[in-house]
Chains A and B, each alone.
Chain A
Amino acid sequence: MFRYANPAQFMRLSGAVLPWLAAATVLTLGVGLYWSFTVPPDYQQGSTVTILFIHVPADLVAMGAYAAIAVASFFSLVWRHPLADVAARTAAPLGALFTALGLITGSLWGKPMWGTYWVWDARLTSFLLLLFLYLGYSALWNAIDDEVRAARAAAILALVGAVNLPIIHFSVVWWNTLHQGESILSGKIAAVYLWPFFTMMLGYSLLFALLWIIRIRTEIVNRRARSLMQVGT
């Protein structure tokens, strides 16, 4: 497993994969977008159903990115995997972006449904808190000067956040039932929507992976550059 731990190995492998990944991303998103705009309108939501095709994928990537950070943090703390820190740190701004997009699209989807741009429902509220978790995580990385310390501290914070996240979500759901918030529309999706749905989910995931890998490669290159500068070539 740790054959890929070697940065040079990672660079080689990711370099080979990257063009294919980029092509797959563009293709998938293209097809997904086409389908998103050619479905029939929903009986309840009308044409706003198209927003769901970019809202739900954004939310899922937002959660997936945090899970990825938690796993990377675990590897970083327990096995001192050298690339784990880089992976975790670079994933965070991307995760925050997808969370923000999820909130924006969720709000725009909700306005025709509920009449306001923001409702304190369980999902939006949970994702708002997730956004703050991302911001705190990145802030901690940036605040601590010592790279090694920053990595360890951020890893601890990510794991604490990961453990707390289900509890936070549960408490928000509980809170929502108390105050009789808006109920989420029933989870059943008509079959005709499944194709654009899954395609966009795949497309968003591929895009995240693409950007993430490029950022990790960038960080590896920057580290090499920094070590060269220190040696005083």
Chain B
Amino acid sequence: MSPFLTLLARDLRLAARSGGSAALALAFFALVATLVPLGIGADRKLLAQVAGGVLWVAAVLAALLSLDRLFQGDYEDGSLDVIALSPLPLELASLAKIMAHWLSTGLPLTLLSPVLAVMFNLPGEGTETLFISLLLGTPAVSAIGAIGASLTLSLKRGGLILPLIILPLLAPVVIFGAGAVAGVVDHLPNGGLGLLAGFAAASVLLSPFVAAASVRLNLAG
């Protein structure tokens, strides 16, 4: 099996083992989706209008939960040095980690979203758009998140500044994703999904290079 796939499989196994990050992200996602109506009231029309935004923010926060461990675990036990020295380029290794993170958080969140959409009274096509937007956008969350994770991998309490660093960078994802859903709900189609796809593609393509650079600088020190 190629070194890329080996690393991907290993990271997935680790994610499954350490408290099941997918389960945690899903639970968090569902909890936020439950708390918000408790906070703003059960007006079905209102909920349908805010659904895109609320669920997108919830998804981003849920994906954030497991990000700080993306490189940190391997850094602490020396595996990162091994990975860096292996024939697999660090950029591809980073991509493998990004994919593993998405498969264990972003994808499950996307799959759960239609259920939560029902709780928000989102009409059918709104749910469809939400699903597609999450499918396209959560890889970007993992990718940009990986940049933050690689910059903070040496910090014990790095998890605290990680959201501060990457949430501003994720603003376009939330804007385009939620905007696309709102457009469908209001019957005013906008190019949100297209913009989201473009941004996500760029993020996934470029962030492995940035993450690799960050890993190298941390290992060199």
Contact = CB atoms under 8 A, between A and B. Distances in A.
Q: Do A and B touch (CB < 8 Å)?
A: yes
Interface of A: 129, 132-133, 135-136, 139-140, 143-144, 146, 148-149, 152-153, 156-157, 160-161, 164, 167-168, 170-172, 174-175, 178
B167 interface: yes
Given A143-B152, A152-B217, A156-B217, 8 more contacts: A136-B164, A139-B164, A148-B221, A160-B210, A172-B171, A172-B175, A175-B179, A178-B183
A178 B167 contact: no
Contacts of A171: 171-172, 175-176, 195
Contacts, number: 80
4 smallest CB-CB distances across A and B, nearest first, come from A171-B172, A136-B165, A152-B217, A149-B221
B213 interface: yes
A194 B199 CA distance: 39
Contact of A140 (B151, B171, B175, B182): B151
Contacts of A164: 168-169, 172
B158 interface: yes
A132 B190 CA distance: 28
A174 B154 contact: no
A157 B165 contact: yes
B15 interface: no
Contacts of A144: 154-155
A161 B172 CA distance: 13
Contacts of A175: 175, 179
B147 interface: yes
B213 A143 contact: no
A153 to B, nearest CB: 5
Contacts of B188: 178
B168 A133 contact: yes
Contacts of A170: 172
Contacts of A146: 154, 221
A136 B214 CA distance: 16
B210 A156 contact: yes
B130 to A, nearest CB: 16
Given A143-B152, A143-B158, A174 B179 contact: yes
A174 B174 CA distance: 12
A139 to B, nearest CB: 5
Contact of B169 (A135, A148, A160): A160
Contacts of B155: 143-144
A209 to B, nearest CB: 26
A178 B151 CA distance: 34
A153 B164 contact: no
Interface string B74-86: 0000000000000
Given A144-B154, A175-B175, A129 B165 contact: no
A149 B219 CA distance: 10
A132 B164 CA distance: 7
Nearest to B217: A152
B147 to A, nearest CB: 6
A78 B24 CA distance: 41
Contact of B167 (A132, A148, A149, A172): A132
A148 B154 CA distance: 13
B14 interface: no
B221 A174 contact: no
B46 interface: no
Interface in B31-70: none
A181 B167 CA distance: 23
Contact of A136 (B168, B175, B179, B221): B168
16 contacts: A136-B168, A139-B165, A140-B151, A140-B152, A140-B161, A143-B161, A152-B217, A153-B214, A153-B217, A156-B210, A156-B214, A156-B217, A167-B199, A171-B175, A174-B175, A175-B175
